[in-house]
Every structure is written in C-alpha cells, then in structure tokens.
Amino acid sequence: MKTARTILGVFGLSMAVATVLAGDEIALFSSSIIEGNQSHSGPLGTDITVKKPIRITDIGAFESNPKGPFVIKVAIYDTSTKDFASGTQIYEVTRDNSRLEDQYRYLPIKPLVLKPGSYILVAQGFSNDQQNGNKWCGGEGPKVHGGDVVVVGSSYYADGRISFPTIPDKNQNAYHFANLKFTEFDSDNSEGGQTRPKLRKTQ
C-alpha cells in the first residue's frame, strides 16, 4: 500500500507538483484474544518467508496481563544457518522500553533490512503471570497482514532459554507471541540503507 503527500517543487521559472510515495508501516500480526491461554516459558517460533526486502522498525511481544511481570525476549533466526538473521540480535521487550498497541508491546529499533529468505520469529519468557496464546489450547491464531510480502507458516517450540526451536507444533501460525512492524523496502531506490521517496509528477 502507498500513501501520498503533496509537495511543491520549483524548477527554474516553472512549478510542478510532485507526489511522495512512502510505504505504509505494517504490523505482521493482530490478535483477537485479550488473555493468553498457555504458560510456555521456553521458545515459541513461527516460520516466516520474506518474498521482498522489508525494513523492520519495531519488534513486538504479546501482552496478556497488564499487571503481570513483562520481560519477553524476541529474535529472528535464519532457517538455513539456524543463527540470528543478519543484522539482528536478541531483543528484550519490557514495559519500560516499549509501547502498547493492540495486545502487543513494541520496542522501536534502528531500522534494519531483512532480505528475501526463510526465517523463524521466536519469543521466550512467558509464564503463569504473563501467558502466551496458543490456538491448540482454544481460540484461533493471530491474523496475518503480510500480504504477498511476508508469508507465515509452521510453528515450533522448545524448552529452556531463547534458541532456534525445533519441535513442530501440530498447528500452523499457532501462537500469539511476537510481532514485527515493517515497510516494504525498495532496494533499487535506496541510499545509505534508507528508502528514498519515489517522486511522480502530477498535473
């Protein structure tokens, strides 16, 4: 999707109106549930396939209890190497460093570009006081808003600290756990890692 802002440009004695097209920020998931239904303390992960380059601006974590403790670790792993995706790390989302939007707390990060490929989005740190959601335990999985840019697939889990989870869940897109905010990234129209606005003259 594109948004438009009109700016006025002056070229010599003539004037033209240009339209700046900028990518809309997209939250990959939205959740219809308010309370979690599972207290899995180990890593939870869901496959994501990135079809076009994306620019990630925020890392999200699901919050089900506004009064319970909230420290959720989130990571993005490359499925081919089982290591962190290039340029990423373990992100610790807390109430102090995040903002709440639609059941997810978002941690702003220095924008990074995720290239096309196969990844797994992982979150860890849920508990009896701060539960994740799992459609196997009742309800449904999160709604996906990746369009044809990010496709969501199978879900996996493990025990222990945050890591690359390998135990397959019987459901696809099973968990309310982590989130990403991103825009489409135009690699042919970028400069210094930042997307340059596309200009189009209008009558």
Instruction: Per-residue pLDDT tens, the chain, 203 aa: give them.
Output: 343 333 333 323 222 222 223 458 999 999 989 999 999 999 999 999 999 999 999 999 999 999 999 999 999 999 999 999 999 999 999 999 999 999 999 999 999 999 999 999 999 999 999 999 999 898 889 999 998 899 999 999 999 999 999 999 988 999 999 999 999 987 665 544 444 433 333 33
81 with 150, same domain? yes
13 with 48, same domain? no
Residue 46 contacts residue 155 (beta carbons within 8 Å) = yes
104 with 11, same domain? no
151 with 198, same domain? no
pTM beyond cutoff 0.85: no
Q: Give the structural domain span for 155.
A: 26-188
Whose CA is closest to 132, among 53, 49, 48, 63?
A: 63
Rounded distance between C-alpha atoms, residue 116 and residue 140, angstroms: 28
Rounded distance between C-alpha atoms, residue 147 and residue 74, angstroms: 22
Q: Which two tokens stand for residue 130?
A: 């701060």
10 with 74, same domain? no
Residue 52 has a pLDDT of 95
Residue 108 has a pLDDT of 98
71 with 151, same domain? yes
63 with 7, same domain? no
46 with 141, same domain? yes
| Total structural domains within the chain | 2
117 with 150, same domain? yes
b/e map of 79-110 (b: 16 or more CB within 10 Å)? beeeeebeebeebbbeeeebeeeebbbbbeee
Residue 18 has a pLDDT of 23
Which residues, other chains included, contact 196 with Cβ-Cβ below 8 Å and sequence gap of 6+? 186, 189, 190
Rounded distance between C-alpha atoms, residue 31 and residue 42, angstroms: 21
Query: Would you tell me how many other CB atoms lie within 10 Å of the CB of residue 196?
Result: 13
The CATH number of residue 165's host domain is 2.60.120.820
Rounded distance between C-alpha atoms, residue 146 and residue 26, angstroms: 8
64 with 16, same domain? no
Residue 8 has a pLDDT of 31
Q: Which two tokens stand for residue 181?
A: 């905010």
Residue 139 has a pLDDT of 82
148 with 174, same domain? yes
Residue 61 contacts residue 74 (beta carbons within 8 Å) = yes
Q: Which two tokens stand for residue 18?
A: 């240009």
- Residue 163 CA to chain centroid, in angstroms? 18
Measured on CA atoms in the order 110, 54, 179, 163, is the torsion positive or negative? negative
107 with 15, same domain? no
Residue 21 has a pLDDT of 31
